[in-house]
A and B are shown apart, each in its own frame.
Chain A
């Protein structure tokens, strides 16, 4: 019997083995699919804008669309998806976002830079030699979220400062980073984002640095080819990864994808484009309608943002008795009216671009994923046709990104990127039921809609507890920091820090109502105290709002919760 008694060490070994095995068992065992052939039957096929086949069949084999049409023979090995009266579209293409890109861990450098005028390039946000393909992960939640809306392809960009690196076009699926990549080095990604506390710390610094690097790169490139043609007697060119990254742009083999949300960003990007002459793609344009002539003159391609300002809430009119209006009411009314007009302009942007004949796709870079279908419907209500919206989601971006031979329509031979919805995609009640990415099926169960609990109202109570990192946009650049909030048995307490000072300040009058969070903090300086008021709306693990700094005005503030450690 003695051999059955194990020493404690042996027991430990067994225990470890068991733990390891059970851990493995919990992971989904990756089996090769039984078949890679699918037949989607009895479905309304929207092959592309204005190209429809009623009640047809789509056959997919080995990741490729094999056949599209009516009365097709179903292959014996096919999984049949009875999509009776459903709609199938080509998977949507997101022109610019960070879906599937792993966010680098932000370690705010609290050290005071010794010589802020001469930072390391990386500290200044200058890393154009980086490649987004090195930071992809198909398991990122952003991939799943976009895919659930019918997006199957995206041009993604790296995180960083003014020159984060090169973009890639990826499939929103797969099990490894390499599976995702459709095309590397699709754009040279740029932003007008300034560095923090080091040069270039303002937009004027960024624009100057951009010009200088571009011209230095042109100069280096010219000298390199001179050297290559005959090396004798010439000084060896210096190898510079940063300048080399510009070469494909200078040769116009790769366009510059420039983030350009606001009208002044668009203008600044076009200013640089005019001077330097690169091919430009404007990314996530939110406010471009007054720049259309310039956009056309610059021959710029455009990805319009799928983010829209919140729609005006319809107020219930229960003021039966006409109260005498105070002057302030009249003022408020006219201010609200202008706000509503402004919102209408944002919503109509796509339609205005369409009418002006500017080709555009869409980008999800800053859009809240869950708002995207509704925002598309708002754009359609504002004058865009469904076909035009579909083109901007499929065929146009496919052409713009140079992948029109592979994706963008439901045609024989194309990559099997498909989205199947139970009603027309742009119908308010439509639900995505199936998505194919590279011929891999993702199913979506339709949940019964729960009726909102009348007691709790519609607004979910947000949870402000925890550590939040934030960014505020001031006219002089961005400032970041951390807000910590703690629930002390019903009442909240917390602190805020800023990257500018490193100081930690107590928060006052923290109020949480529904998903709104407001607080203020005193800033003691020079013998006087200034009150800074912050008003935020929490949406899950993100917030957005404004920071009002006395007479300086108010500035947008956004942030996200840091995971608990």
Chain B
């Protein structure tokens, strides 16, 4: 195995271990990192949706973008660029979030959930592989969203990182504009949004992982895609590293618990676990990267990736405002029956519509 591969594997192990450490420090279970969940919490924090249990300005996301910015600046790779079907990418971002919230996690959280013993995540993972496979089918047919251009100004590429700095400022300053209704930031009093590691750790973890992921070009959909397309397993080793790192630490800390139920922030509707991540896998492959990779690219000055990130945040608001997101399973409690969780009818329809729309984009953007 050459040096690059060892490097990617090591970075994966480290990210897996950092993720479990964040859970130990207060993040929701099996959610040390979840790009989709955390962007959803951010959408709630700025009031784009008012689902009271999932509102928090996640410092991990801010750190990931700023870490990638720093790493790319030092490496001379920061370059403002964009113009490759930007609005189509925004729409794909919306649907990528819908898929993720039907499953209850992005591909990164899927790996972390599998490493926590959650069998539902294995069902999702199979869906993800099929989704990436469908994306590869479109790529082989000549799918292309077009060329991006380098900009004469670096301003555009700095826009999303600066928005993240502003979010961090709001979080640190904790100003309240409206004493009655709250805001500009909203915070959960209960539920996953109320569970978080101390700010300094979350931000530091985000920065570190942002730097590492930028250097090794870590991408979860890319790992499977490259293996399918060119039998290259470099990025796949990152995937395996995250799994192994999280698994070891989960066992060591007593977080490891196998089965379909009970599992934290998860549901047992197999079809929708499969189709949710199927939609994410297909969309991520057409976009050239998973939700994590989109954050990293937007830190490097890629404004098309920034459009995907904003699309995902807007998509998260749709998910909670229109009842598309899945509910998590609940154990029976006083006065309430147990619930297996899962998407309601609107979420199921949105997921199917997403698969159809993304496939239509896959067919429509065929070159030559």
Is this pair of chains taken from one and the same complex? no
Chain B residues engaging chain A, CB cutoff 8 angstroms: none
